[in-house]
Structure 1
Amino acid sequence: MDSTKIRWGIVSTANIGLEKVIPGIQRSQTGTACAIASRSLAKAQSAASDLGIEKAYGSYEDLLADPEIDAIYNPLPNHLHVPVTVQAVKAGKHVLCEKPIALTSQEAAQLLDLPKDKLVAENFMVRAHPQWIRAREIVRSGELGELKAIQAFFSYFNDDPHNIRNMADIGGGALYDIGCYTMLAGRYFFDGEPERVVSLIERDPEFGTDRMTSALLDFGQGRHLNFVVSTQLTPYQRFQLVGTKKRLEIVIPVNAPQGEAVTIRLDDGSELGDGAMRSETIASCDQYGELADVFGRAIKGETPLPHGAADAVQNMKILDALFSSADKGGWVTVG
């Protein structure tokens, strides 16, 4: 094993870890997946065998106690994100935690009181993907003119009552699962924070989760983000960034296929029906591996961590406001 690499441990055998994040870590330049834990030792051993991971543990506590592990990836259900992240940091580990980092901003604020020598970040891999980086370069260059509107749509269909995304008491629903990406797009591309939000939620009558949420976020200076997210509509995702001169379209903004080239599109509107659209190909990458390297270089002290615990708390403040707006039926200021 390369002694210069960050040694990762993974708590749980969640599919996002097995299928996306662990392979990304294994393909990263800075890290290696060394251990995996589950409440079932057999599950951990099976996952370790399938993925070529050296160690398997039958409890999260045993993994956190391993002195050879530098960093933890936490893809547990949403209600366990903060408790296990706190445990991990107190055990001396850095933590990359799956989104959303908490159920409320108040819960997430616990992360701000943890020892500062251990890094905590939310697993928004999209900010490490070259297509988001390139799109923001174009925005900042002024090619779009003034970026005034962002329109985002993100949906999939899942009505399985046994799926954690459909369990309201542990943080299921569209806003927590995918709405966090759409509101993050506003923060990232506007280079700012929303001042107020208004939202409309339609809940599943059986699950109690928000199965469709629509929202408008006011970023001030005439800048608006509007989005629709749903857990029970045809699978689709597309982001539009519209400026005073051009618009930019990100074709697969969140679930960009690992190891495949993707496309962003620019259109000055001179011909209706996309006649003036030109495409730009973004080279293939593994966005999970890219984020593992961003986090790994920060752990090594080579570069600062661009988005840490404070950023994650801010994300939760926006989600809090969106839920509150739906309950109150009007605009809510972001706290």
Structure 2
Amino acid sequence: MRVLVTGAAGFIGFHLSHRLLNEGHEIVGLDNLNDYYSVQLKQDRLAQLQAREGFTFAHLDLENRQEMETLFEDHHLDAVINLAAQAGVRYSLENPRAYISSNIDGFMNILECCRHANTSHLIYASSSSVYGMNTRMPFSVHDNVDHPVSLYAATKKSNELMAHTYSHLYGLRTTGLRFFTVYGPWGRPDMALFLFTKAILSGEPIKVFNQGQMRRDFTYIDDIVEGITRLLGKPAESNPQWDSALPDPGSSSAPYRLFNIGNNQPVPLMDFISAIELALGQEAQKEFLPLQAGDVPATYADIEALADYVGYRPGTNIQQGIQNFVDWYRDYYRQPA
């Protein structure tokens, strides 16, 4: 297949592109290489991909309608995996317009291009943040998610609604994935594992929010990539049991599906920190702080829908995943073991 992966120089897009190239697919990788976090890290990821046969890079913004239309015209794409977005819950409090531009306007261009190019399947990144004020655990795609607590979450919920509209009106097969705290080598510098590792090695205190009373469904990157790869070969289908009188939010009479993609084993934040300390052989100085605006105290993914659909089961425990990240971090930043 020829697959467009947007956000190809990003954390998930980088790993996914490598996996798909290994399986013999052609990849058109799109990224704007913005400076939300280290451009050098993105360029280093990209350099590895550009060294691979079968990879073509497109340096452009999703929001650029004309260039997006040209990209679709120039490449006959069998599928699109949209991972490009303005990420980060906390940053959405500081720069909200960036989220509307990238996550709403950009996603609109993706949908329109897929529609007019008769793309067979669109997989796109949603987020566990859409669960917002929901407290029933584990989070299920069959529950309504109408109370987001950050603009980032609201844009991801909007993507799900927009995708359903295109599935209903035009028969575009769309699959939305609600990611749960993805971590691993080449990860994002704004995520907890990266921030904690850097601070501990520098002898600086780590910020522990909600007084440490947090739980996250940390999901290792290889497990995420495995789930996406399986879905690529099984485009979204309509649910013949879908009932408009009792509508299931996770499916539809249209070819539209939503899935949680997580580890299904939430980890207390203090246990997560302990695993980092063990991997580093160094204890962290901890600064305990209240819960931040836009954040939630716990996430926990119900992954049964994805397991039933493609047999997805995560296989990487938190200790091994963190050790893999620490090994990569020391090598990349030339830190002594």
TM-score range, shorter chain: 0.3 to 0.5
Q: TM-score, normalised by structure 2?
A: 0.38
Q: TM-score, normalised by structure 1?
A: 0.38
Name the structure where helix makes up a greater proportion of residues.
2
Name the structure where strand makes up a greater proportion of residues.
1
